[in-house]
């Protein structure tokens, strides 16, 4: 039980030092020590490669999701059976969100006396949410540089494979 207690208390560093000392006693030649260090480095490099691979797979899933959403939108917009509302729902919501956000900014800047002290925090909170939503809307319609850069890197890495 002392080992587990030492492991989960402040003895973690002591444990690592102890393992290092044991390895120093077991591995006596410089070649053995160098070989062990090389194996440890190989393991670290393999871990980093595995993490990068997982990151790339995650990015591919995100880009695939975005691509399928865009393809769905193209199908809806080009469908002859879709109603006006079906074709324009996203556009109306985007324009409405933009208008409401600009209205809140106008009120906050040019009519601050119309906002009571009690409701000021609520207005600022709503404005923050609307601003974040507006950023997402603009990123959707006009693209985001971060997403475009990540997509370019991912596509470049896919070509290398």
Q: Tell me: do 60 and 115 sit in the same domain.
A: no
Residue 52: which pLDDT band, with cuts at 50, 70 and 90? very high
The last residue of a domain, from among 33, 66, 82: 82
Condensed to tens digits (0 to 9), the pLDDT of residues 98-138 reads: 999 999 899 888 988 888 888 888 888 999 999 999 998 88
- The whole domain housing 47 covers 1-82
Q: Tell me: do 51 and 106 sit in the same domain.
A: no
Q: Tell me: do 110 and 57 sit in the same domain.
A: no
Q: Tell me: do 62 and 138 sit in the same domain.
A: no
Number of folded domains that form the chain: 2
Tell me how far apart the alpha carbons of residues 34 and 44 are, in angstroms, rounded to a whole number. Answer: 15
Q: Tell me: do 135 and 70 sit in the same domain.
A: no
Q: Tell me: do 21 and 51 sit in the same domain.
A: yes
Is the pLDDT confidence value at 1 over 50?
A: no
Provide the token pair at 60.
């591919």
Q: Tell me: do 88 and 78 sit in the same domain.
A: no
Q: What is the mean pLDDT of residues 44-55?
A: 92
Q: What is the mean pLDDT of residues 66-85?
A: 86
Residue with more model confidence, 33 or 42: 42
Q: Tell me: do 4 and 78 sit in the same domain.
A: yes
**pLDDT recorded at residue 116:** 86
Whether residue 63 contacts residue 154, with contact meaning beta carbons closer than 8 Å, is answered with yes
Full DSSP string of 16-72: HHHHHHHHHHH--SHHHHHHHHHHHHHHHHHHHHHHHHHHHHHHHHHHHHHHHHHHH
The last residue of a domain, from among 82, 115, 136: 82
CA distances from 31 to 37, 42, 160 (A): 10, 16, 36
Q: Tell me: do 43 and 70 sit in the same domain.
A: yes
The last residue of a domain, from among 64, 82, 100: 82
Residue 65: which pLDDT band, with cuts at 50, 70 and 90? confident
Residue 36: which pLDDT band, with cuts at 50, 70 and 90? confident
**pLDDT recorded at residue 129:** 94
Tell me how far apart the alpha carbons of residues 154 and 145 are, in angstroms, rounded to a whole number. Answer: 14
Q: Tell me: do 44 and 94 sit in the same domain.
A: no
**pLDDT recorded at residue 142:** 80
Q: Tell me: do 137 and 69 sit in the same domain.
A: no
Q: What share of the chain has pLDDT > 90, as a percent? A: 25
Q: Tell me: do 66 and 22 sit in the same domain.
A: yes
Tell me how far apart the alpha carbons of residues 150 and 145 are, in angstroms, rounded to a whole number. Answer: 8
């Amino acid at each position: 039980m002392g080992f587990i207690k030492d492991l989960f208390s402040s003895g973690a560093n002591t444990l690592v030092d102890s393992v290092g000392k044991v390895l120093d006693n077991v591995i006596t030649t410089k070649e053995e020590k160098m070989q062990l260090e090389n194996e440890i480095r190989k393991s670290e490099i393999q871990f980093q490669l595995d993490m990068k691979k997982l990151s790339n797979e995650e990015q591919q899933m995100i880009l695939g999701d975005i691509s399928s959403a865009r393809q769905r939108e193209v199908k809806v917009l080009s469908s002859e059976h879709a109603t006006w509302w079906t074709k324009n729902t996203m556009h109306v919501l985007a324009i409405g969100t933009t208008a409401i956000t600009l209205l809140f900014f106008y009120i906050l800047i040019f009519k601050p006396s119309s906002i009571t002290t009690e409701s000021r925090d609520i207005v600022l909170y709503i404005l923050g949410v609307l601003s974040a939503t507006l950023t997402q809307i603009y990123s959707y319609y006009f693209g985001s540089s971060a997403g475009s850069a990540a997509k370019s890197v991912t596509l470049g890495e896919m070509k290398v494979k």
